[in-house]
Every structure is written in C-alpha cells, then in structure tokens.
C-alpha cells in the first residue's frame, strides 16, 4: 500500500446528528446541553451547534431525502467533571444508559438525545497509556 505525504483532508467541518423531531433536538442541544447555536440552514430543518472544537449539525434527514437512523455509537462530549455534568443533565430529565465508566484514564457516561443518538460525557484525567 502506498501512502502520500500530502493529506487532502485538513480538518472536520461538522458531524451530522440525525433528528427525528427537529424542534425537540434543537431544544435539547441548545437549551439542555447549552451549546451555542452557530447557524440554521435557511428554511431546511437543520442547525449547527458548537461543542468546543466540533460543530454538531443537527438535521432531519428525511427533509434531505435520507432515511432516519440514530447513531448507535456515542459522540464523546468533553466535560470537566462527568459526575457533576451527569447530575445536571439528569435534573433536566436526561436518562443515561450506562453507569459511570472508569477506564483507568478517563471517566464516561452514555446517554441518548431525543432522537435516540448516543452521546457520551467524557473526561480524560490521565494520559492515554497507549
């Protein structure tokens, strides 16, 4: 296999998160998670939210000719304190599908958004041993 020393990819512009009920998802990402709204996609049911260095594009896929399928594997959202963030979200009605996970170098807790997309509160507390 031959590899090129020049990469065509310079970054990630956004990760798309499918919404089943667009307004419920906009409320969840903007109000419950408190992510800043970056922009809406005109009249289409899609909006971008900024999560640190990652933009989450929440969109209703059926409006774009796509089938709705929630993400089964979580998007890891960085927080300072997983337990405190979990308590805050649980107080707003967010249900977690895992207990806190301690891998030996990070804490995690997995939950679902209104469309059933898996999300993960994540905090790395030690260097990755790999």
Instruction: Encode the chain (130 residues) as per-residue pLDDT tens digits.
Output: 566 678 899 999 999 999 999 999 999 999 999 999 999 999 999 999 999 999 999 999 999 999 999 999 999 999 999 999 999 999 999 999 999 999 999 999 999 999 999 999 999 999 877 6
pTM, rounded to two decimals: 0.90
Structure tokens at 104: 């030996």
Q: In this structure, what token pair is assigned to residue 114? A: 């209104």
- DSSP letter for 61, please: G
DSSP SS3 for 114: coil
Strand order in the sheet with 75-78: 75-78, 118-124, 106-112, 101-102
CATH number for the domain running over 15-124: 3.10.180.10
């Amino acid at each position: 296999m031959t590899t090129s020393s020049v990469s065509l990819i310079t970054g990630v512009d956004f990760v798309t998160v499918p919404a089943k009920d667009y307004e419920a998802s906009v409320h969840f990402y903007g109000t419950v998670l408190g992510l800043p709204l970056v922009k809406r996609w005109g009249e289409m049911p899609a909006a971008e939210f900024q999560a640190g260095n990652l933009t989450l594009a929440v969109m209703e896929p059926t409006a774009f000719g796509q089938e709705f399928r929630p993400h089964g594997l979580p998007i890891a959202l960085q927080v300072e304190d997983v337990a405190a963030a979990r308590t805050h979200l649980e107080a707003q009605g967010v249900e977690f599908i895992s207990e806190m996970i301690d891998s030996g170098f990070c804490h995690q807790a997995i939950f679902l958004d209104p469309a059933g997309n898996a999300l993960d509160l994540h905090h790395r507390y030690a260097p990755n041993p790999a």
